[in-house]
A and B are shown apart, each in its own frame.
Chain A
Amino acid sequence: MTDLLPQNIHDALAAKAIEHLHPREMIIEVLRAIQDHRGWVPDEGVELAGQILGLTPLQIEEIATFYDKIYRQPVGKRVIHVCDSIACWSRGAENLYLYLQETLGISPGETTQDGTFTLLPTCCLGLCGEAPAMMIGLKAYGRLTRERIDEILATERAEAGA
């Protein structure tokens, strides 16, 4: 269990779940906690969340498979979500997406060999004003260019390596 969730966080979540009138509302919170700790949510993570919240694994899984920011498959240390919605696309996101694939040497959904980056497309990030945009972890980057991407990747790689 400890490799899924540290005991203290587990206990805190469990205590909160008992207080909660509708523990279902905490599903994302618990899944994010597991994901923050483990990097992604394995099947055992879903079951653990169920245990904490008093729900069946399926009820957790319904939510977990619905949101694309909850990873049900292993990912790298940093997950790049590239926006492929219309606003970004009209500002050349498609090319940047291809550039990212080229630079990282992976296709969408894959993880780089060193396990640093996973590249995923996503629908709107809400950053249409700064299109084209992408998000790494919880950090959003707008007004992307090739140079900026190189820069960001370098920084992130350095941070991830540290």
Chain B
Amino acid sequence: MSDFAIDILLILVKLGLIFAVLLTGAAYLVLAERRVLGRIQRRYGPNRVGPFGMMQPLADAVKLLTKEDFIPAQADKPIFFVAPGLAAVTALLAFAVVPFSPPITLFGREVPMVVCDLNIGVLYFLGLSSLAVYGIALGGWASNSKYALLGGIRGLAQLISYELAMGLSLVPVVLMAGSFSLTDIVLAQNPVPFALLNPVAFLVFLISTAAESKRIPFDIPEAENELVAGFHTEYSGMRFGLFFVGEYINMMILGSMITVFFLGGWIGPVLPPIVWFFAKVMAVAFVFIWMRGTLPRLRYDQLMHFGWKFLIPVSLINVIVTGALLLWLKG
């Protein structure tokens, strides 16, 4: 068997694994969110299906699959069909560059624990996370519903606003790591994660990712009390499910990104690196859920105000300060 074939096989195996882990992860993240929110509100959350409600995601899937797939009369059908997939796929694709463990040696070969260690991983990630909004915008547009359209437009505006802050908050990370490769960034955080070295960038990134994934308090595109359900108002059944899955996969990806960029990736004592990686991702996911259970939704103008007039200036200043500091340290 040639190396190339083995490489392909390994990539396929990794892809399969990642798919499986991401999808089940997303499904259980839904359950985890409902349970945690329940506890925050002093309820139990879903606990009827299986022990501790562990089979709930399965039941949800069955329900979503068996529900009627409703298509509005005047909808732009092709786009309407594609949009939820787009939302899920772009989210999945971003995971290609995430290293979740140091390379391991398997059958005498060194196998990198990343699907594809691009040397411009950061740019790839930024690009894909921006693409994710296509699903929302197109879904909102294709539904031929004013709520959905408004939701899509808001999603676009919100993404543009926060993408900038997110990108700018990554500049110090790249500066500090001296590389665009995510593996290099992780390695650069041994022993001190960037979250401690540059907390401002960390916070800006954390907030921006929350806004990117349209999580509360930034869920303006689907604000229930104004827009019914925003961009997915007209979606039902598994198509709605895809949007949902996309959103939670996105949450996992962003969690991974935070882990990679700021929390030192797999690096940690005692436990195997992959466990550390997942623990950190889960911790970030928990923070997101916690945030949802705590904060109320921002108003649209507040959201824009906060993004443009606060986050971007702060991250710009942070770039300058970090750059200056690095120059001073090295110089």
Contact between chain A and chain B defined by CB under 8 Å: no
Binding site for A on B (CB under 8 A): none
Which residues of A are interface residues toward B (Cβ below 8 A)? none
